[in-house]
Every structure is written in C-alpha cells, then in structure tokens.
Amino acid sequence: MTRCQQHLAALADTYGGTHPSVLAAAGSWLWQLHRLLTESAGPQTVHADGPLSLTVCTAAGTYWIAFEAAPNRCTAAGCQAEAITTADQSVLWQPPFAGAVMADHEHEPDHPVDAPHPGTWSALPATGFAR
C-alpha cells in the first residue's frame, strides 16, 4: 500500500495534482481502498503482488487490486504508435494493433518515458484471471 501511495505522490509531483491522469489514478486507488475497508467479506489478508498491485484473500474468495499502466501514445498528428519499455529500459515504439498508423518520425510521447507511469487500479477476480 505504501508503494501505491508513493506512486500517486510521484505522479502528482511529475504532472501536477490536478492533471487528469493523476486524478484518475488517485480516484481509482481511493475507490479500491474504500472497497477493501468497507465491504464485509469476513476476515481478510492483503499481500503485495508486484510493485503496485495487491492480492486480497477473504472468506468469500481471492481477488487482485491491480495497477494497469496507461499506454504511452505518440501525440503527433496521425500517428497511433505506443511506447513500450523493455527489460533493459530501452524504449520501443510499436503499433498497438494490426493496421495501426505508425508515422516515420521522431515519436512524441504523451508522458515522459522515464517518469512515473499514469494508470489506474482495478479489482480483478481470481476466477479466470490469467497471470
């Protein structure tokens, strides 16, 4: 939970506290905390599941509160490329789907590739959840 709060603080420091991506992240995190603290499903345990996600075990079952990073899209007119960061921290631009327009130019990311990634938290059920 501490890492999630730290991520929110880093987003606010980077983009400003009123930036839409910061508000979306904060709102989704607060909603998941509200659910965690107020929905009665019997005793529960919470464990870290990666740097920004949690596993919640209750009498009713297990679910995940998972951080889903927003894609980093190119903002150049007509370009649909998205950036991915590889394990060695290289940035690759690729089409997000077959047939996507990927202009041949210096891509312009909608958020800095070396900054905290915007995104939101959501609850994912244990059933059918591919990990």
pLDDT score for 84: 86
Q: Which residues of the chain have pLDDT under 70?
A: 40-42, 126-131
pLDDT of 11: 96
pLDDT of residue 81: 93
pTM: 0.79
pLDDT in tens, 86-124: 888 788 999 999 999 988 899 999 888 888 999 999 998
3-state secondary structure of 3: helix
Query: What are the sequence ranges of the domains in the chain?
Result: 1-70+116-131, 72-110
What 3-state DSSP class applies to 7? Answer: helix
- Residue closest to 1 by CA, chosen among 49, 68, 63: 49
Q: Which residues contact 81 (CB under 8 A, 6 or more apart)?
A: 73, 74, 93, 94, 95, 96, 100, 102, 103, 107
Looking at 16-55, list the stretches that DSSP marks H as alpha helix, in order from N- to C-terminal side: 20-38
Q: What's the pLDDT score for residue 126?
A: 63
